[in-house]
Amino acid sequence: MRQRGEWAIVTGGAGFIGSAVARELRERGVRVAIVDRNVPQHQDVDAFVRGGIEHERTWLTLASELAGASIRSLFHFAARTSVLQSVHDPHDVFASNLVGYENALEFARTHGTERVLFASTNAVVGAGDTGVISERSPLVPLTPYGATKAAGEMLGSAYGASYGMRVASVRLTNVYGPGMWHKDSIVPRLFRHVAGLAEATIYGTGEQVRDFVYIADVVDAFVRLEEMGYHGAVAFGAGTSVSVNELVDLVSDVVDCELRLRHVPAKAGEMPGVNVDLSLARSLGLKADVELSEGLRLAWEDFQAEQGRAAG
């Protein structure tokens, strides 16, 4: 167990994954500093700096807030994460995802931070078929979003080799679960459709496959990788892929309502197959325990509760 005086920085700590990691760290006795454009909606924070990670002033403010503190780790979740938006506005995604991450790495270097955990993505690999993706797959991203994450991995490798930092690039699959309702990914879109809040559609045939991993399993993976001081890329997901059509059927079962969705043409950058080889992750002791049907049930319960709170 760490001493209470040690700090962890969580960029994007007001967001879906970052806030969950922040809560877990504080439960383990770590002091947490959050950097985010948005104010955290939770109390799991000992310091907060509001600002964009691409702006130098944000990091100068953080340095002032943590002057003299022992900063053990930096968890980097802040990013523009919409794949489709990155196609429409690649410059904005570049500024946030690449310039912002370089700022984070430089802050860690100059403040003696030993470990950096970077939320990467399987989108760094532009799989053209349903073949299995692993850490050995070539980096051929299909979108500006994937390209910024691939470049981020290269930055982490360079900082590790040049300065001895332990930089883990965690290639996540589709993360879902409680607290994700502001996001534009498929699970919240389907739930909003069920609630009559927005229309959901299926891109292409719906036979494209994806790996969906529950938020609690992702949090556990990041904390374990930090504790072991892992350096390098590692893919992490549930290890089981389902088609979008199968996901719709599972959601229909959870909400007890058959979903009939309109099909629209596939978007540019759409990966037809995401099947991830988790051999390395498993050798490191990382595992996904929550089955998709159970995770969707828990997520739906949280979504309903959130809608009830919003209705007041």
Residue with tokens 């759409």: 270
- Exposure of 112 by Cβ count < 10 A (0-12 exposed, 13-18 middle, 19+ buried)? exposed
Query: Residue 14: what residue type?
Result: A
Q: Is the pLDDT of residue 2 over 60?
A: no
Q: Is the pLDDT of residue 129 over 70?
A: no
Average pLDDT for 108-127: 93
User: Are the CB atoms for 167 and 157 separated by under 8 Å?
Assistant: yes
Local confidence band at 279 (pLDDT 50, 70, 90 cut-offs): very high
- Exposure of 134 by Cβ count < 10 A (0-12 exposed, 13-18 middle, 19+ buried)? middle
Q: Is the pLDDT of residue 178 over 90?
A: yes
* Residue 57: its H or E element: helix 56-65
Compute the mean pLDDT over every residue in the chain, rounded to the nearest whole number.
92
pTM score, whole prediction: 0.94
Handedness of CA 260, 187, 145, 92 (dihedral sign): positive
For the chain, give the percent of residues with pLDDT over 90. 80
Local confidence band at 311 (pLDDT 50, 70, 90 cut-offs): confident
Q: Regarding predicted confidence, which is higher, 59 or 267?
A: 59
Local confidence band at 84 (pLDDT 50, 70, 90 cut-offs): confident
Average pLDDT for 254-261: 93
For the chain, give the percent of residues with pLDDT over 70. 96
pLDDT, tens digit, 9 for 90 and up, residues 189-236:
999 999 999 899 999 999 999 999 999 999 999 999 999 999 999 999
Phi, psi of 127 (to 5 degrees): -60, 125
Domain definitions of the chain by residue range: 6-177+210-242+272-289
Distance CA 113, CA 74 (A): 7
Strands (E), the chain: 6-11, 31-36, 47-50, 70-76, 115-121, 132-133, 166-172, 174-176, 201-203, 209-214, 232-236, 241-243, 262-264, 275-276
Q: Which of these, 84, 93, 153, 80, lies nearest to 120 by C-alpha position?
A: 153
182 Cβ contact partners less than 8 Å away, ≥ 6 residues apart: 16, 188
* Buried residues in 175-189 as b, exposed as e (16+ CB within 10 A): bbbbbbbebebbbbb
Q: How many helices (H) and strands (E) does the chain have?
A: 11, 14
For domain 6-177+210-242+272-289, the question of CATH label 1.10.10.10 is answered with no
